[in-house]
Every structure is written in structure tokens, then in C-alpha cells.
Amino acid sequence: MSSIEVSSLKKYYGDLKAVDGISFKVNQGEVFGLLGPNGAGKTTTIEIMEGLRERDGGDVKVLGFDPWKNGYALHKKIGVIPQEFTFFEKTTPREAIIYYADLFNVKVNPDEILKEVLLSESAKVNFDSLSGGQKQKTGLALSLVNSPELLFLDEPTTGLDPNARRAIWEVIRGLKAKGKTIILTTHYLDEAQQLADRVAIMDHGHIVAMGTTEEIIQQHGSGERLEIHGSEKLANYIRSNTDLQVGYDKAKGEVTIPLKKKIDALAALAAAEQSGLEWGDIQTRQDSLDDVFVKLVNEPVGEQGEAASEVKTGKKRRR
Amino acid sequence: MVSGKRIYSDFKVFSRGYLRNKFGLFFGLVFPVILILIFGAIFAGGSTGKVNVYAQNQDTGPFATPQMDIASNFLSALNASSTITVITVDTSENFSQYLADHSSSDGIVIPSDFSANYLASHRVNVTVYGNPTSSTSGIVAGTVGGYANYFNLQRFNGTSVIGLTSATVNTQQTKYIDFLIPGLIGFSILTSPMFSLVNISSEYKKSKLFKQLSLTPLTKMEWLVSKMIWYIVLTIAGFLLMVGVGIFAFGAHVAITPWLIPFLVLGPMLFAALGMLVGTVTKNPETAGVIGNIVTFPMMFLAGTFFPISSMPQYLQTFAHVLPLFYVTEGLNNAMVYGNVNGTIIDIAVLGIITLVIFVLAVKLFKWRED
């Protein structure tokens, strides 16, 4: 059963097509990652699903509700952490949980929720004295007060240090284990790989790829290839002495050979040895999600340099 | 459906935050008291109303007896009046230069043959210096003129037929502080909720706190009502403090009647709603602050807070009637100083209608989601 159904969703800000006709479904109990550089339309999409923004076109159903028209009813069933979560400065996480419980008219044990989000130690610290990670955890705690079946986490770990990020991941994994449906936006690829069952990669208001990370890598990646450190001469030698497709990366000084079969690697290495030319490190590798991401997301140089560099911080190579 | 439980829990969180923020508390409670102390000290001192006047006595005599020194007697009589205090200036000084050096425009010069001419029944003029734009000059000219007439009558053994007895609007002696207290209470009813709501409305919009609250069952109206309740509490506390300080520190005479309650309730409601309304205009807290000041300052000075509007030109008096604060200040004055119940009731009615309109507008126009 689908928790969310989005079809041909559109949202324009003047001439800017922030979201330009995207469609996807999220199944119950699934962690769905929305990936993309800054300005791709992730937050607009998630805010439309939360009922915080009106759409300009298309259809959206969240737990069977139209989020804009039936927002008030929907909000009782969902939990949300907006981007850069903030709260009343002079309120402690524990007081915040009690406040939300009163607003939702539910009975909760604040200490239990604090424990669930690993925040027990800071239960009585005013919000403005909490660290970035503790603030995000407070947001997570509040999103859980009404025991929602569906959670929206908009960039929950942006700006946090690696330990704090891992702690948040732990909490999200715990929620997933409890069977909650989770929509997660992030521009950290490793975060999506670690947490999401399926991801959609967004760019300029479009979904450019969707599926499990393996599926996306398979569809859009180049497959396994052999890389040999050596000269262009070596590349030419291997090309003319085997029936392999041989490429050369001048910048890295690497001969690259796509491997249709594993045995191709042996042929390539035999040719390299025969050439009598010098060659160094060899490795086989496959495109990682970030290789695919960089390929799919065409970022004009300079304009979104920030997004590109943020993507790199989350890099995780498979070698 | 409006939920009392949600209003109460929002009230709890907000008031707790407010009390933990020392700066907010200072503005809410300490600042009004400081205002009362400052203004009280300025106007409640012993010398209230007496104008300092520089006087140069150029009269040279000859005086056979002290009774013949008419110039000195004239100045002593002036000094003994209830309106002016005479400060003698030496005859060696250039008088107008002396006035300028002492940043004063009020002065009296007695000419050299004053006593001789008086005794000989020859006309002689006392020169009164004054600045037509200054309110003290009229007092000085009037007093000197009055005493000149008195001395003229005496010269010809006349008696005054019409006398003068001082009286004030109340049965008791009314002091400036008595008029000041309602004005300053009005001032704090305006500023505290208004500035605070302008600030938090735009701040919460910018930090997306409103967006977050919109994801809970709390409604905009409940949110505003809880703020109103808090500012009513704060206003009543401020009221008690200000009246207490006024009475105990300055011996103010103000009536504490149940007629004050509607103003202490409607006033904060009105200005909290108005603050929220101003906060809807922009989500930039700096701009919001400027717009807040544009709305607040004319009201502060033109609605009869520090001086009665009857001292203003007619068109400003007319303008004052469109300022919501006017009905708070006028009503408080009617209830506390004049004991004018009918006037008070009219002010309450007008205030109630304005409050309702602003409240509805604020709740309708304020958006905490985005289109």
C-alpha cells in the first residue's frame, strides 16, 4: 500500500520551475530518499507533501489526504523536521515534548522519547544552549510525539559533525525498524545509501533517476572497469593488441578498460606486460552512487559549486 | 475549535520563556517603573511650577528709609509669589548678554530712577524679557504685570475688589504625577505587547517557527490569544507596580476603581493583535521593527501620554481620535483622575470595537504557511 502518491507535481516561483512535473510513490514502511544538489526542488517537494506549500499543478495524496486542503487533519498523523529546525530559545527538550503532547492532546512519557532519540542527558538544557546535533535530535523527538506513521526529515544532518550525523542515523534506523514510513531529503549520498530503501535523484525540478541505489548504479553507471596507471603509449599498445575497448584519462594518467567479463582483465594485463612499457597500480572499480550522481546532475560550473563540493564530502568509494 | 488546553500549554511555554529572558522581563516590568521614577522625580519636586527669573535692579535711590526702596520691595514681592523665583543679577553685568550666557530668556530689569519716579507718581517702565515660544515667558509677564497693578493701586490707596482663590479639578490637590500615571500606564500598555509581537511575529516567520507550529493542532488564533493573556498578566503587574511607586514614592492621588479593568484587559489585547498584524507585513525583523516604530511613535506622543491633547493644535487633536491608544489614555484618565464614568464607558466601548476589528484582521491576514 502506498503512503504517498505524487503525480505530475508542479510548483513555479515566477519563471523558476522549482518542481516540474515529478511523479513517484512511497510504500508503507519504506525509507525513501530524495537526493539532489541545493536548489533541485527537494524542499519544495517535501513542503508540498507536508501541506506547508500550495502546489501549482499535479496531484498529491499523503495517507489519503490532499495535504493543502486537509492539512489540519493530516498533521495529526505525520511527524516533520523542517530544514534547520529551531525552537523557542528558553525551552528545554523535555518541556518542548510536554508542550507538543498537550497540543496534540496525547499522553506520552517524555523521558522515553528523549531516550529514543539519545537526548536524555540534555533533557533540561535550554534550546539555545544545545549543540547542532542536540537541536536536530530535539526536532526528531518532537516529530515523534504524536506517534506518526509517516515522518518527513528534511536534511536532518546538514551542518552536523560526523559523530552527530551517525547518532542521528542510529535514531532513524531505530524508527525504520519500528515500521515507520520515512521521507528523507539529503545531499549527502552516503546518508542515502546508509538509510534509504529507494532514492529519487532530483535536479532542476525533475527526477533524473529513481530506484534502489544498486538499481541506479546499474542503470546509469558504467559497470566494472579496470584501471592501470601508465602512459598513453601503453593504452595504444593494449588497444591494438586486444579486442578490448581502451580509454585513456590524461589527467589521472590512467588507462581505463570496461570489463564485460572478468577474464578481460587478464587479457589486458597480459598485453600490458608484453608491451615492455612501465605500468604501476592496477585496480578494478565500479561507479559509486556519487559517480552516477555527478554524471546525472549537470551543474553549471561556478553556479552551484557549493552543491558539488558538498556532494564530495559524503564520498564513499568502492574499490 | 478553539481549545483551552492548547492555549494554556502555549501560554505556559511562552511565559516561561519570557521569565527566563532577563531582557524581556526588564522591558516588561522594570522599564515602566523607571519611567515613573524619572518623570515623578522631574515633576514631583518641591519647586513644581516656579519659574526662575533673572532680575537686574538698576535703581539707585536715594532711599531715606527702607520703605522708600520700592524696587527691592517689588522684587521681594515677586519672589514671594507662587509662580516665580527671582535671581538677582549684579548691575555691572550686560543683562541681555547675561541671559544668553545662562541660556535663559526670562528676565526683569528695574530702571535706575524706579523708586523716585514711583514716589513722585511719574510713569516708569519695568522691562520684562521673554521668548514668545516659551511657556514660561507668559507666566513671568503675567506675574510681573499683576504685581505692577498691585503696586499701582497701593500708590493711590486703592483696594482690589476682585480676588483670586486657587482650585484644581479634584477635591484633593492634584499634582502633575497624578496626570502622569494614567499616561505612563497607557504607554506601557502600548509598547510592551506591541514591540514584542512585532518582533516575534517576524522573527518566527524568518526562523520558520510558525511553519513548525502550523504542523501542530495549534491554531493562529490560539497562539495569539495565549500571547494576549500573557500581556494582560504583565500589564496588570506593571500597573500595580507603577501605581504603587506613584503613591508611595510621590504621594500620587489616583482612584483605583473596577472601571480600570477593561482597559488593562482590552489594551494589551489590542496592541498584541496590532503587533501581530504589523508582523505580517514582512519577515525581515529589522524592517518589521521600523514599521512597528512608524505605527507606535506617533501614538506615543499624540495620544495624550505625556501631555494632554488639549494643548495640541486642533488638527492634531482630531488626528488623536483615530489613534487606538487615545481611548486607553483618555479612559484611564477619566477613571483614575476625573472620575468620569460616562466618559469611561464610551472609551471602553470604542476600545472594544477597535480591539475586535484588529484581532479579526490579525488572525485572518496572518499566514503561517506559504502559498
Which residues of A fall within a CB distance of 8 Å from B13?
88, 91, 95-96, 99
- In chain B, the residue whose alpha carbon lies closest to the alpha carbon of A94 is B13
Q: Of the spans A178-192, B27-41, B223-237, which averages the highest pLDDT?
A: B223-237
- Is residue B79 in a domain? yes
| The last residue of a domain, from among B155, B187, B205 | B155
- Is residue B340 in a domain? yes
Same-domain pairing of A69 and A9: yes
Domain assignment of residue A158, given as a range = 2-77+148-219
pLDDT of residue B175: 67
Same-domain pairing of A52 and A170: yes
Which residues of A fall within a CB distance of 8 Å from B215?
50, 52, 75, 78, 80
Same-domain pairing of B215 and B347: yes
| The last residue of a domain, from among B155, B184, B213 | B155
- Is residue A137 in a domain? no
Same-domain pairing of A232 and A277: yes
pLDDT of residue B166: 58
What are the distances in angstroms from CA A178 to CA A50, A196, A271, B278? 21, 15, 55, 45
Average pLDDT of span A180-190? 89
pLDDT of residue A279: 85
- Is residue B282 in a domain? yes
Q: How far is CA B278 from the centre of its chain?
A: 26
Task: Give chain A's mean pLDDT.
Answer: 85
Which residues of B fall within a CB distance of 8 Å from A100?
216
Same-domain pairing of B186 and B293: yes
Alpha-carbon gap, residue A214 to A193, rounded angstroms: 9
Domain assignment of residue B118, given as a range = 51-155
- Is residue B80 in a domain? yes
Same-domain pairing of A231 and A270: yes
Same-domain pairing of A205 and A254: no
Same-domain pairing of B55 and B35: no
Q: Which secondary-structure segment (H or E) carries B62?
A: none
Same-domain pairing of B60 and B25: no
Amino acid identity for residue B73 in this structure: N
Same-domain pairing of B213 and B301: yes
- Is residue B95 in a domain? yes
Which residues of A fall within a CB distance of 8 Å from B8?
102
Same-domain pairing of B111 and B228: no
- Is residue A318 in a domain? no
What are the distances in angstroms from CA B27 to CA A14, B34, B144, B193, B194? 43, 10, 46, 10, 12
Q: Of the spans B62-76, B116-130, B276-290, which averages the highest pLDDT?
A: B116-130
Could you read off the pLDDT of B302-327 as tens digits, one per residue? 888 777 777 778 888 888 888 999 99
Q: Which residue has the higher pLDDT, B47 or B205?
A: B205
Q: Which secondary-structure segment (H or E) carries A32?
A: strand A31-35
Same-domain pairing of B307 and B206: yes
Which residues of A fall within a CB distance of 8 Å from B214?
52, 71, 75
What's the burial of B68, exposed, middle or buried (CB within 10 Å: 0-12/13-18/19+)?
Answer: middle
* Contact at CB, B9 and A99, closer than 8 angstroms: yes
Average pLDDT of span B343-354? 94
CB A103 within 8 A of CB A161: no
pLDDT higher than threshold 80 for residue B283: no
Strand order in the sheet with A150-154: A78-81, A150-154, A181-186, A31-35, A198-203, A206-211
Same-domain pairing of B209 and B283: yes
Percent with pLDDT over 70 in chain A = 93
Same-domain pairing of A280 and A152: no
Same-domain pairing of B302 and B348: yes
Same-domain pairing of A156 and A215: yes
- Is residue B289 in a domain? yes
Residue B54 bridge partners (DSSP): B87, B107
pLDDT of residue B165: 66
Same-domain pairing of A162 and A206: yes
On the question of a cis peptide bond just before residue B62, with omega within 30 degrees of 0, the verdict is yes
Task: Supply the DSSP string of B295-348, one letter for each residue.
Answer: HHHHHHHHSSSSS-GGGS-HHHHHHHTTSHHHHHHHHHHIIIII--HHHHHHHH
Q: How confident is the model at residue B131 (pLDDT cuts 50, 70, 90)?
A: confident
Same-domain pairing of B352 and B276: yes
Q: How confident is the model at residue A27 (pLDDT cuts 50, 70, 90)?
A: very high
pLDDT of residue B102: 86
- Is residue A82 in a domain? no
* Contact at CB, A99 and B371, closer than 8 angstroms: no
- Is residue B332 in a domain? yes
What's A8's domain CATH number? 3.40.50.300
pLDDT higher than threshold 50 for residue B106: yes
* B12–chain A Cβ distance below 8 A for any pair: yes
Domain total for chain A? 2
pLDDT of residue A59: 92
DSSP secondary structure code for residue A211 in this structure: E
pLDDT of residue B156: 79
From B369's Cα to the closest Cα of chain A, the distance in A is 5
- Is residue A311 in a domain? no
* B367–chain A Cβ distance below 8 A for any pair: no
pLDDT higher than threshold 70 for residue A3: yes
pLDDT of residue A244: 85
pLDDT higher than threshold 50 for residue B75: yes
Average pLDDT of span B192-216? 88
What's A230's domain CATH number? 3.30.70.100
Positive or negative, the CA dihedral B6, B29, B280, B296 is positive
Task: Give chain B's mean pLDDT.
Answer: 85
pLDDT of residue B149: 87
pLDDT of residue B169: 52
pLDDT higher than threshold 70 for residue B16: yes
| The last residue of a domain, from among B120, B155, B190 | B155
Same-domain pairing of B266 and B281: yes
For the entire predicted model, the pTM comes to 0.75
Q: Which residue has the higher pLDDT, A262 or A96?
A: A96
From A42's Cα to the closest Cα of chain B, the distance in A is 16
Domain total for chain B? 2
CB A201 within 8 A of CB A208: yes
- Is residue A257 in a domain? yes
Which residues of B fall within a CB distance of 8 Å from A87?
209, 212
Percent with pLDDT over 90 in chain A = 32
pLDDT higher than threshold 90 for residue A91: yes
> Is 0.95 exceeded by the ipTM?
no
Q: How confident is the model at residue A25 (pLDDT cuts 50, 70, 90)?
A: very high
* A89–chain B Cβ distance below 8 A for any pair: yes
Average pLDDT of span B343-365? 93
Average pLDDT of span A295-319? 45
Same-domain pairing of A158 and A73: yes
Contacts of B82 (CB under 8 A, 6+ apart): B49, B50
Same-domain pairing of B255 and B143: no
pLDDT of residue B44: 60
Same-domain pairing of A47 and A12: yes
Same-domain pairing of A228 and A188: no
* Contact at CB, B216 and A50, closer than 8 angstroms: no
C-alpha cell at B259: 472601571
